[in-house]
Chains A and B, each alone.
Chain A
Amino acid sequence: MTALAIRGLRKSFGGLRVTQGVDLAVAPGERRLIIGPNGAGKTTLFNLIAGDLKADSGAIALFGTDIARLPARRRAHLGLARTYQIITLFPKDTLLRNVTLSLLGLSPLRWNPFARLDRQHELIAQAGRALARVGLADMADRPLAETSYGERRRVEIAMALAQSPRVLLLDEPFAGLSVDERRDVKALLAAVPREITIVMIEHDMDVALDFADRISVLHFGAVVVDGSRAEVVADPRTREIYLGE
């Protein structure tokens, strides 16, 4: 079975056809890198997969379940998690509360108006473990507003991992990070168990190349090249798209 199977996915904004028939098949446990120049439709593709946008046509299957018509929240419950290119967190809350909210999203407890959230020790301990996983355990009680950009990136990843997703979508996880921070995030992602399939968008090909099992090159809203790392790097079309020759 395929972890993520996309067929003929299309999306237009008015007359602008951003996604023009994307086909993609990601195997369970795979690390897939999606690269492409600015405006290739990478983030739109993620928004379609995660449900932030509704596709005009096409099919998206998560482990065989058709999710193309489901709202984003249902997809999350089916095991899809994502991070955002532009970090979207809860700035007034602590790191721990941010991750707790992520865990709460999949728990029936989220509808409970009578319990006290700060007494949900099981949930909070779980959030603490997720933070420890990204090396932020000692900062758990710090307000998010007082953290660095690189730390926020790691909080985003902790929130996504906390949900124990089956498929994790990472939208440019290295964007805006310093060399040191990149190394940290890279090590962190390398440690993610293979039960979690990862699809990663990166604008800069070099950064994430060694992370990927397979690479898809997106250009003008369609997958142009698809194959193993070596195949894609050797393909003349990749060169053409990136160097404009």
Chain B
Amino acid sequence: MTFEVPDEFRYTESHEWVAETDDGYRVGITDFAQDELGDIVFVELPDEGEELAAGDEFGVVESIKAVSDIYAPVSGTVAAVNEALFDAPELVNDDPYGEGWMLELTDVDADELDGLLDADAYEAQTE
């Protein structure tokens, strides 16, 4: 089974992704992660304005199989959370890199992204 791993995103070993947008950086979990978890039934996200350091737990994803912590790939301030997930957690399964995004971060040091995995390295990790 192959999983989608967009080239322009950066990844963590704990299966989060981060991508630059016009306003900041979006964060979510990968296609591989959502497939491993199975049907996601609940997502807990931080409050807007919260400051995260890279590696901080910022929320929880609950599926019918497991409950998993999710970690900030880079440091930053939470500018927005995807409130659609509170009513429709299945968006993470259906569209992990799009409608299933979780956080929008600002105040991100772009250099921190260099320390993350690129698409090839992440793909190799999931094989």
Chain A bound to chain B:
no
Binding site for A on B (CB under 8 A): none
Which A residues lie at the B interface, using CB under 8 A? none
